[in-house]
Structure 1
């Protein structure tokens, strides 16, 4: 079993989705620094003065969530979009770790010289990450075997919200940065919907065998993407009166 397929069973997919959502929910419950784009050095120092709380928040939403993000890319990737999905998830995870490093530095020394520039850097990196996540969301949907209405709607709304809030953080626009309050819940909802759609499509593909045209077709495809396995149906032949009565199966 390869690294990719190891995270593509139904149970593994749900474990990854729940893990990612849990990291963010737990982080939000802990609470992180609430700062605007024009925060002063004094405001930044005060927001990061509770070192323990800030560190726990940063580790949850930028550290652990980054690891689950890579696994999410492996979990939701399929077919021709496998490589771009995994690549986008990895890029987003690296950007998240960059945010982690910046917030840890501010938590350790909240009144350090250059704190304003460092906080702006963390915010801009967050903006780039949102744009990457928007691309990830769209790519996963484009490569989905079965795109239901729910997945399509949630994907479009989530991608638009991520793009707008990403531009806001990248340009430090207070008006657009406020959209992050909507883009994050939408992203978490999308993770659940996309996982359900992926698991559901596999359940349909792996359905019961169906006999068509005298051939026994077994649902699903091989790991290499080959066509479903087929085997000839048994042939029913009537015996001649001179032999013995009954039916003979040849298969």
Structure 2
């Protein structure tokens, strides 16, 4: 009986990265579908407040679905990748880059909640700028996670290629967010889908390997 229970627990724990990896993409897609206002970098504080006015609930929901819950997904998949990586250096790199990205994502969630509730133009502008610049830093860390995934030697070749492509694309969009350059930031339309593929694919692959 004890052996059966041990096997059951092992299977449940092994399935966690897969479930969380899938939930990561589901949460992001849901967050982008809620229809929250989308101010641009050049907007003034007054314009940001005006655009978000009356939409506090939707804005908060979007930050929860695109930053709060995904922070958990990044942490879980990063830890799973670090444990599976065949090189200690790659394992540390995955843990640090993924863990750092998860912490920033959660910080963005908290800042987003404050942004959704504020009526001050100066505060709104500062919060909006902070969220976007943090996004740039997070993207650099996610690029590091992509490199770690490709060098872990535990993923299929197609996922290694996707991870490298994501790393390259997300560095470019990260520069746009960090420096508030709208043109470069639009590259997130390329790096974003690749990120979902990499995080979800990595979670699913590691979940199957752990069984």
TM category (shorter chain) comes to: 0.7 to 0.9
Answering whether residue 160 of structure 2 is matched by residue 152 of structure 1, we say: yes
Answer whether contact 2:163 2:198 (CA < 8 A) is retained: yes
Gaps of 5+ in 2: 1-5
Larger relative contact order (C-alpha < 8 A, sep ≥ 6)?
2
Answering whether residue 94 of structure 2 is matched by residue 85 of structure 1, we say: yes
Answer whether contact 1:35 1:47 (CA < 8 A) is retained: yes
The partner residue of 2:65 within 60, 68, 72 is 60
Whole-Å separation in 2 of the counterparts to 1:115 and 1:19: 30
Answering whether residue 49 of structure 2 is matched by residue 41 of structure 1, we say: no
**Correspondence for 2:28:** 24
Report the 3-state secondary structure (helix = DSSP H, G, I; strand = E; otherwise coil) of the residue aligned with 1:113.
helix
Answer whether contact 1:8 1:76 (CA < 8 A) is retained: no
Once the two structures are superposed, residues 179-230 of structure 1 have per-residue CA deviations (whole angstroms, 9 ceiling, x without a partner) of 1112111100122333354456x38xx9xxxxxxxxxxxxxxxxxxxxxxxx
Gaps of 5+ in 1: 207-251
**Correspondence for 1:167:** 175
Q: Runs of 4 or more off by more than 6 Å in structure 1?
A: 5-8
Q: 1:59 to 1:31 in 2, by over 3 A?
A: same
Answer whether contact 2:81 2:149 (CA < 8 A) is retained: yes
Structure richer in strand, relative to its length = 1
Answer whether contact 2:77 2:202 (CA < 8 A) is retained: no
Structure richer in helix, relative to its length = 2
Count of paired positions: 198
Q: 1:52 to 1:84 in 2, by over 3 A?
A: same
